[in-house]
Amino acid sequence: MTAPSPTHWHAQTVEDSLQRLDSGPTGLDADEAERRLASFGPNRLPERAGPGPLKRFLLQFHNLLIYVLLASTLVTLALGEWLDSAVIFGVVLINAVVGFIQEGKAESAMRAIQKLLTLDSRVKRSGEVRQVPAEDLVPGDLVLLEAGDRVPADLRLVETRDLRIEEAALTGESVPADKTSRPVTADASLGDRHSMAYSGTLVSAGSGVGLVVATAGETELGRISHLLGSVEQLQTPLLADMARFARQLTLIILVLAAATFIFGILLRGYSADDMLMAAVGLAVAAIPEGLPAVLTIILALGVQRMARRSSIIRRLPAVESLGAVTVVCSDKTGTLTRNEMTVQRVYTAARRYEISGVGYAPEGDVSPSGDLAHDLHELARAGLLANSASLCEVDNRWCITGDPTEAALLTLAGKLQLDSSDEALRQPRVDAIPFSSERRYLASLHRDEKGQGVIYLVGAPERLLEVCDQQWRDAAAEPLDPRIWDDVLEEGAAAGLRMIGLARRVVGSGQHELDHADLDNGFVLLGLVGMMDPPREEAILAIEDCHSAGIHVKMITGDHATTAAAIAERLGLPSGTPLTGADLDDLSDTELDALLRETSVFARTSPSHKLRLVERLQAIGERVAMTGDGVNDSPALKRADIGIAMGIKGTEAAKEAAQMVLADDNFATIAHAVEEGRTVYDNLRKSILFILPTNGAQAFVLLTAILLGLTLPITPLQILWVNMITAVTLALALAFEPAEDDLMARPPRDPKAPLLSGELLWLILLVSVLLTLASLGLFIHSQQLGWSMEASRTLAVNALVFGEIGYLFSSRRLNGPARFGIRDNPMVWAMVGLMVLLQLGFTYVPALQSLFGTRGLRLEGWGWCLATAVATCAVVEADKWLRHYIASKRRPPLT
Ligand code: ADP
Ligand code: MG
């Protein structure tokens, strides 16, 4: 067949469209699909070409800090200091190369993580529905759509049921458009083509079937894909803060350099050339040029670590906000529980049955057994017929496709020896309405052996009791006695069972479609079943962790309040009266706010309640993480401080709205992610705290020397060496620092607190002064001993570096005592080793000696350096201890 010419598909009839693409109601067969895939290529949007390598490299220079360094190169050049000029430029170049490589790595790591979120579609091929990657779709395929799906290709709609699609990605219109299969006029604009579903748009309600008419770059989205952003920028609030800080710092440095220049010439009588060099030295000393790269690496490493533990970050700022979360609102079913449903109890009007057996294997006993189980069979048959899940046995293990709640009903039917294909033959399905969390029921219409219509209704017992006026006892219908059912509902729910009702209604033979109006009354209640869905063991531990980390956990469920409370107790959530969706509707904001803190279970809620909960929690000052999976969870996910979507059972709409996706749908993963988020934030802070004093000290050394009228104890070249080397070695080691022991025992961070609080600024100042004293002191001392200028300078540089090494061990802990262990972060000692080697090279290798003007040191020089390291560490530790002591004195101990 030929490639479909650009056709006005929206104006064609369904039949014409199918014919043009050689497709039919059963879809393509596998061979044909494969042939077409080979000729049309994968259904993947052409990746937007980002800036090329050259441009990305040049962008590394686009930075105020670097401009200052480049200007310094020019100044030294103008002064004829060729060597200085070459080395400064060399450093700028090395910095750009390092930044280029690291940014590239970080971006490809991010891209690899995003690729974990692939899109699958349900396609009809050879009459069977199967799940295929959206990339394998070809023109002519029939794609099934339902609420929450992302449309995987451009589709001519063949069948629709209340289908509404949100096309903001394409048209900018955020109100969902109603869709039908009827053709529209050829000149209809994109937004008016109601017979089409376009790639990249989101199904917000209903369901439908569409014929693929265009894939990949041929889709409307493909045509405008140059408008879409590709990889997200590696940016977070903290990094933006740092960038702002760096700019301010640069300005301060420039002013300071200018002041020094003038001061030196006017008051100290230095020559203009000398002072220019000093100003340049000051500029390069104070600029933390290595810092941005280190911060990016820490972030990228954190995101990678999270991905390894099943949390996929979609938006980078999430990494930071995770560490500040104070409330986690979690779905119950599947996240806190295993979502492995087993029917354990059945209540009919006449009696109560206990069902044994574990998992989905249709093997187990019923007690009481006996011939009287006619009512039980009727109920099980209803559960079987109204079902859209399926069971299969692979290697002696029973697995399911579809909803676990429905699969459990299949297992129940299996235990009663009902055969699904027999039953389906006897009562073929005519129409069905799938389960939805808003309505809390599903229904299906069948034709029985006498040609009569039968509707089966399965869902939340309260809903069913509203529409039943009769109940089934043994073999006949009798008037409904609501008291029986209220009692057994309460009894089952108190045992932690998920309660489901089943009902039946006979209708005329002429009925072919199911309507919600058919489900309003006239049903006969067949009974209730109670399913066990055990809590996840790991969730119990994770909830404990959250509590000790000062994070409240709230369970949100559509399930019955009593069931939810029973499960909450097993999970170790604080007991308290659950609030139901109905309560939420009745309470005013102020009333609700008063109850929010002590309520940890919200039951019988609809997705719309989640948004209100997020808003009210935020209003009382909490920072909320909210989980979600359905299409209607999107507003709450977007509103939450962190929206978390389920990776397995979540819809595309939920993932799109979320900042983070749980690859394993597991609550414990959220707790891990919070821990990682806190670790990343800690490590960002640690490396900032570590790097800035180096710059501070160098600047102080130069300033003091100029004020005192001394020769420069450290040359600009040597300063550059120290800046470069410490940033890429020592500071980098902090990126690998694991979580501190008490990380999950601390309260959540206040995101409004400034990054560099007074305490941290004090620390930076303290260490800067310490390093200055050591470096300058040893310089002056060795000069007095008669060392050569070169040797004294070499000593000053080494003292500075060794002071940094000592400080590194303190920096590993923000609050606790310094750490010297190797095991939890081998990078620290590795980098210290490397650093020492580099300093030995700097001191003794002839080529480096002539480049940097260094000289070999006497042994006592190294002894002083070592002493500097120990002293720096000791003083910082003493300061930490003192601040702790004062703080504990000020805060009376809790009694
Ligand atoms: P959650 O996911 O929080 O457990 P749901 O909205 O899935 O809540 O379920 C709410 C209620 O709807 C359940 O208590 C049960 O009675 C009923 N229900 C859930 N899933 C199904 C289903 N697939 N078919 C019929 N009824 C269901
Ligand atoms: Mg559910």
pLDDT in tens, 282-319: 888 888 877 877 888 888 889 899 999 999 998 888 88
One domain, residues 476 and 562: no
568, 466: one domain: no
* 578, 584, 585, 591: CA torsion to nearest 10: 120
Whether the per-residue pLDDT at 575 is higher than 90: the answer is no
Q: Answer yes or no: is the C-beta of 332 below 6 A from any ligand 1 atom.
A: yes
Q: Whose CA is nearest to atom 3 of ligand 1?
A: 557
CA distance linking residue 758 with residue 765, whole number of Å? 10
Q: Under a CB-based contact definition with an 8 Å cutoff, are residues 674 and 325 in contact?
A: yes
DSSP readout, 606-642? -HHHHHHHHHHHHHTT--EEEEE-SGGGHHHHHHSSE
State whether the beta carbon of 665 lies less than 6 angstroms from ligand 1: no
Query: Which pLDDT score, from 0 to 100, does residue 234 have?
Result: 61
Residues with CB under 5 A from ligand 2 (ion): 333
Residue 891 pLDDT greater than 80, yes or no: no
When pLDDT is averaged across residues 869-890 and rounded to a whole number, the result is 92
CA nearest to 73, candidates 83, 64, 63: 83
Q: Are residues 591 and 508 in the same domain?
A: no
For residue 732, the SS3 value is helix
Among the candidates 201, 230, 259, a domain finishes at 230
Structure confidence at residue 882 (pLDDT): 92
N residues, the chain: 895
Query: Pairing mode, if any, of strands 624-628 and 642-646?
Result: parallel
Q: Are residues 618 and 660 in the same domain?
A: yes
Active site positions, annotated: 331
276 part of a folded domain? no
Distance 688 CA to ligand 1 centre (A): 49
Ligand 1 binding pocket includes 406 (Cβ within 6 Å): yes
- 626, 204, 605: which is closest to 437 by C-alpha? 605
**Mean pLDDT for the stretch of residues 674-694:** 92
Ligand that comes closest to the CA of residue 562: 1
Radius of gyration over every alpha carbon of the chain, rounded to an integer in angstroms:
35
> What is the pLDDT at residue 748?
93
Residue nearest to atom 26 of ligand 1 (CA): 459
Residue nearest to atom 10 of ligand 1 (CA): 558
Mean pLDDT of 435-452: 91
Same domain, 384 and 331: no
pLDDT tens digits, one per residue of 366-415: 988 766 578 999 999 999 999 989 898 888 889 898 899 999 999 999 99
Q: Which two tokens stand for residue 359?
A: 């998992």
Burial label, 885 (beta-carbon count in 10 A; 0-12, 13-18, 19+):
exposed
Whether the pLDDT of residue 273 is over 90: the answer is: no
Q: From the CB of residue 648, how many other CB atoms can be counted at a distance below 10 Å? A: 13
pLDDT computed for residue 229 by the predictor: 45
Of 349, 403, 394, nearest to 531 by C-alpha is: 403
Do 397 and 431 fall within a single domain?
yes
The protein residue whose alpha carbon is closest to atom 9 in ligand 1 is: 558
Q: Distance (Å, rounded) from C-alpha 823 to C-alpha 682?
A: 19
Ligand 1 atom index nearest CA of 563: 14
Q: Which two tokens stand for residue 643?
A: 């929206």
Smallest Cα–Cα separation from 164: which of 206, 200, 198, 196?
206
What burial class does residue 207 get, using C-beta atoms within 10 Å of its C-beta: 0-12 exposed, 13-18 middle, 19+ buried? middle
pLDDT one-digit tens code per residue, 552-569: 999 999 999 999 999 999
Q: Are residues 385 and 458 in the same domain?
A: yes
Give the number of domains in the chain.
3
Has residue 22 been placed in a domain? yes
Q: Does residue 484 belong to any structural domain of this protein? A: yes
Please spell the DSSP secondary structure of 675-724, one letter per residue: HHHHHHHHHHHHHHHHHHHHHHHHHHHHHHHHHHTPPPSS-HHHHHHHHH
- How many angstroms separate the CA atoms of 3 and 300, rounded? 43
> Cα–Cα distance between 526 and 517 in angstroms, integer?
21
Residue 743: inside a domain, yes or no?
A: no
pLDDT of residue 895: 44
Query: Is it the case that residue 228 has pLDDT exceeding 70?
Result: no
pLDDT surpasses 90 at 894: no
The pLDDT value given to residue 231: 46
Confidence grade of residue 795 (pLDDT, cut at 50, 70, 90):
very high
Atom of ligand 1 nearest to the CA of 403: 23
CA 648 to chain centre: 14
pLDDT at residue number 233: 58
Q: Report which DSSP code applies to 525.
A: E
> DSSP assignment of 766-780, as one string?
HHHHHHHHHHHHHHH
Question: Ligand 1 pocket, 610 CB below 6 A?
Answer: no
User: CB of 849 closer than 6 A to ligand 1?
Assistant: no
Any domain includes 200: yes
Whether this prediction's pTM lies above 0.85 is answered by yes
Structural domain includes residue 76: no
Q: Give the CATH number, domain containing residue 163.
A: 2.70.150.10
- Rounded distance, CA 140 to CA 138, Å? 6
The rounded distance, in Å, linking the Cα atoms of 454 and 382 is 10
Per residue in 138-179, pLDDT (tens digit) is: 999 999 998 889 999 999 999 998 899 999 878 878 889 999
Say if 444 falls within a structural domain. yes
- CATH number (domain holding residue 409): 3.40.1110.10
pLDDT of residue 371: 60
Does ligand 1 have an atom closer than 6 angstroms to the CB of 436? no
* Cα of 787 from ligand 1 centre, angstroms: 83
Percent share of the chain, pLDDT over 70:
97
Candidate from 498, 632, 646 with most ligand 1 atoms within 8 A of CB, to mutate = 498
pLDDT exceeds cutoff 90 at 97: no
d(CA 731, CA 718): 18
Q: Judge if 586 and 515 occupy the same domain.
A: no
User: 464 CB less than 6 Å from ligand 1?
Assistant: no
Q: Which two tokens stand for residue 118?
A: 């692939």
pLDDT on residue 729? 84
The pLDDT value recorded for residue 372 is 56
Give me the DSSP letters along 399-440: EEES-HHHHHHHHHHHHTT--HHHHHHHS-EEEEE---TTT-
Instruction: State how far the alpha carbon of 604 is from the alpha carbons of 36, 332, 440, 794, 893, in Å.
Output: 48, 11, 9, 73, 43
If 0-12 CB within 10 Å is exposed, 13-18 middle and 19+ buried, where does residue 271 land? exposed
> What was the pLDDT predicted at 759?
85
What is residue 117's predicted lDDT score, i.e. its pLDDT?
Answer: 75
In a shared domain, residues 370 and 511: yes
Answer yes or no: do 441 and 561 share one domain: no
Query: Is 607 found in the same domain as 504?
Result: no
What residues make up the domain containing 122? 9-47+113-230
Question: Helix, strand, or coil here: 872?
Answer: helix
Residue 525: per-residue pLDDT? 97
Q: Is residue 283 part of a domain?
A: no
Tell me the angle at which helices 537-548 and 667-708 cross, rounded to the nearest 10 degrees.
Answer: 40
Q: At what angle do helices 291-308 and 82-115 cross, to 10 degrees?
A: 20
Q: Are residues 527 and 590 in the same domain?
A: no
Last residue of a domain, one of 511, 532, 553: 532
Look up residue 453 and give its two tokens.
Answer: 């219509």
- Among candidate residues 649, 666, 683, the one where a domain is terminated: 666
Q: What percent of the chain has pLDDT over 90?
A: 60
